[in-house]
Structure 1
């Protein structure tokens, strides 16, 4: 009997340890990345995937505290000059050394990326010069004072100058005038692991659009080998199949499980974590003379009238949306960032008042309302199409007959950026955790040359607000900058230039032997998914 007991026990022990020893991780994503190029699209789905492969000079933890990345330290030499000490001993996935040349090349490439739906030039447009003092010392000179530069640099991925065919010497020049760039590869080339070469904890193995992205462990990673040998990220855009994949064991973790399924997931023994995010869901209105998709106004655009914009805002019952559609996993919003984040004022949520909304429409000359189309993605944000349908019904009650045009995220963003929607619903997560992020991206006057307003597809413009915002972004004193950002946001919201709806509460579900610290920025970072520690 003893001869039989040992093998049986050995088999039992191995089987029992198998989950802890597993070296593969599979994640079901709510949305699919639109490109492997980390400089193509400021979209959280793209960013969270790219962060596995590429790194930046700085990084941010789960609560958006800025910490060293590829730069181990930095200092402000004067109001417009920063010196960065780059980390030594860092290798790219192809074995080449990371140096200041790669950083200069990476920043030079940003304005050369073609057809970007939301360009990263918002972060590079203010850079006047970059000089490598040596391979691991870099000086960046900004056009104006920018106290947030180290924070913003987290968004600028460093790519390999060698892998992308740069010359031996790359010289920085603003607005795409760099020298030594060679033949710059465009975004489709990054589908190849030979081009998508970074310094991150994982290296690209393969990317199959519509199916999966696979990354593998980079054993020479400067921060220590990651926990997983292989990570598979699968876009499962439909809620039901995504939950089913988790429950069936086809994936180990999913993001954004449907709120109505959370109890079922917990009852099945899975781990569920959540946290309030900095993502604002908002309505933006096209404020140009020739806005499409509006009827019953004799060719006029009623959205140019702030009374109409206010009527739309107070027609929305945000509490009802948060409670009934979002199941409590949202917080009604009065600002573009949740207080007490930097630059917020504690402004109250616009009060639901449909009768006053009707009065405002009549005062603006539209007593019988008008017709309009509301654009929205149907697979990008939590319950996005349901929220849009609810908003449409609420607008209809005050006389604005609203048709919802829902499409997949990739289609929606392309159409939004082509200004096809007179009003649209979308979301924004502040990469800096600072009010300047939504202000300069969503409502600053659109200017391709300066990089301001890249996601202002409503073309709202308030020159006085622009002045305050630009001054705030060049103010070193934190207290003064905070006050000025509050002033700038108040100017926009008093004008109803954009309409905040709610802040998302983000949820992740995973197998019980995994842990994940919820991130304020909502990113699902494979490198931060950890095996659960034994009790």
Structure 2
């Protein structure tokens, strides 16, 4: 989440994990402009170029998904108002009627079909969508607002997987390159905000979409500033230069929590981090070296006792507590 519900620019997206801090001045009843400072790197406004948290944060302001996820992790209607499994390998999605793109053209099932094809075909894309798209072997446009997806094998979590996929329009994206999304030419979504401007490495600007199908947000415009240095980000918040930051440093949290000018919000994350020993690494994979810097053959990780020792060395309680 970005912030508490009264300040949410996009409430249901699973965006930033951990803590956020925002200026109490941003809660003013008549505030119309919101400036957010984030630490992550945004490398494209093309929602299918590279699936990363910062890229998705930006994309989901402009583009909706078939299925949303609420703050408590439960699935919620997005561009699809209902979905059901009609057979072990077929999912049917009923689409929301009356939705229009930012240019006023109607959203239909054909846009969903186009999206599912485009997400794997973006030239030079850095990926992140194959796990969602490749299991889908067939897309049937069964009506203007009805689409059926066939999968190779039963995929019970398909609706959940689709919370990560922004839906784009065929008419804007058919002949568009990633550069056209970055320029705003093809950045035409159905989401709560419209593209206003993009300065790579510096900021992204949005204006409110007053024709959005959902609840109108409090903000007429939102600016997301890219501030990778957490100290600079925090200083900008405390000085009033920006209204909100993500991921404040743990050492700054007590100071921020004690300030009457700042409110800190935290949300439980859904991210899973794991460590897998490379028992049979590729020839060019990083090796385990001895004190002289020579590669150890065979890898110590082939020894079960070494793997058990590494497992025992992990402070699971400490990680969970932090």
What is the TM-score with the length of structure 1 in the denominator? 0.51
1:51 is paired with a residue of what secondary structure? helix
Cα RMSD over matched residues? 2.3
Pair 1:190-2:163 in alignment: no
**Equivalence for 1:208:** 199
Q: C-alpha offsets along residues 331-362 of structure 1, whole Å, 9 cap, x if unaligned?
A: 16xxxxxxxxxxxxxxxxxxxxxxxxxxxxxx
- Counterparts of residues 104-503 of structure 1 (less than 5 Å): 104-165=113-174, 183=175, 185-269=176-260, 270-286=262-278, 287-290=280-283, 291-296=285-290, 297-319=295-317, 322=318, 331=320
CA distance in 2: counterparts of 1:113 and 1:268, whole angstroms? 46
Which secondary structure state, in structure 2, belongs to the residue aligned with residue 130 of structure 1? Answer: strand
Distance change (3 Å), C-alpha of 1:140 and 1:318: closer
Separation of aligned partners in 1, 2:46 and 2:305: 42
Unpaired stretches in structure 1, ≥5 consecutive residues? 1-15, 166-182, 323-329, 333-504, 506-535
Per-residue CA deviations over 1:382-431 (Å, capped at 9, x if unaligned) read xxxxxxxxxxxxxxxxxxxxxxxxxxxxxxxxxxxxxxxxxxxxxxxxxx
1:152 Cα offset (Å):
1.5
Q: Is the partner of 1:59 in helix, strand or coil? A: strand
The reply to whether residue 63 of structure 1 matches residue 72 of structure 2 is: yes
- Whichever structure has more helix as a proportion of its residues is 1
User: How far off is 1:18 after superposition?
Assistant: 10
- The gaps in structure 2 that reach 5 residues or longer are 1-24
More deviation in 294-303 or 132-141? 294-303
Structure 2 residue 40 is the aligned partner of structure 1 residue 31: yes
Looking at structure 2, the residues matched to 271 and 227 of structure 1 have their Cα atoms a distance apart, in angstroms, of: 18
Q: 1:75 aligns with which of 75, 84, 92?
A: 84
Task: Say if 1:263 and 1:136 are closer, same or farther in 2 by CA, change over 3 A.
Answer: same
Q: Using a 3 Å threshold, how does the CA distance of structure 1 residues 305 and 109 change in structure 2: closer, same or farther?
A: farther
Report if the CA contact (8 A) 1:42-1:120 is conserved: yes
Whether the 8 Å contact between 1:213 and 1:233 is mirrored in structure 2 is: yes
* Contact 1:196 1:204 (8 Å CA) reproduced: yes
Whole-Å separation in 1 of the counterparts to 2:282 and 2:243: 50
1:308/1:146 CA distance change after superposition, 3 Å: same
How far did residue 210 of structure 1 move?
A: 1.3
Contact kept, 8 Å, 1:289 with 1:300, in 2: the verdict is no
Which string of whole-angstrom CA distances, capped at 9 and with x for unpartnered residues, describes residues 199-241 of structure 1? 1000111121211111110111111432111111112211211
Structure 1 residues 267, 289: closer, same or farther in 2, change over 3 A? closer
Report the number of matched residues: 291
CA distance in 1, matches of 2:190, 2:42: 20
In structure 2, distance between residues paired with 1:78 and 1:155: 23
- Matched residues in 1 for 2:29 and 2:122: separation? 42
CA distance in 2, matches of 1:207, 1:112: 24
Q: CA deviation at 1:29?
A: 0.8
Q: Describe the shift of the 1:75–1:282 C-alpha distance in structure 2 as closer, same or farther (beyond 3 A).
A: closer
Q: CA deviation at 1:294?
A: 3.5
Report the CA distance shift for 1:134/1:45 in structure 2 as closer, same or farther (over 3 A): same
Cα contact 1:191–1:206 (8 A) shared by 2: no
In 2, Cα distance between equivalents of 1:145 and 1:212: 42
The question of whether the paired residues in 1 share the 8 Å contact of 2:288 and 2:296 is answered with no
Q: Match of 2:268, SS? A: strand
> RCO higher in 1 or 2 (8 Å CA, sep ≥ 6)?
2
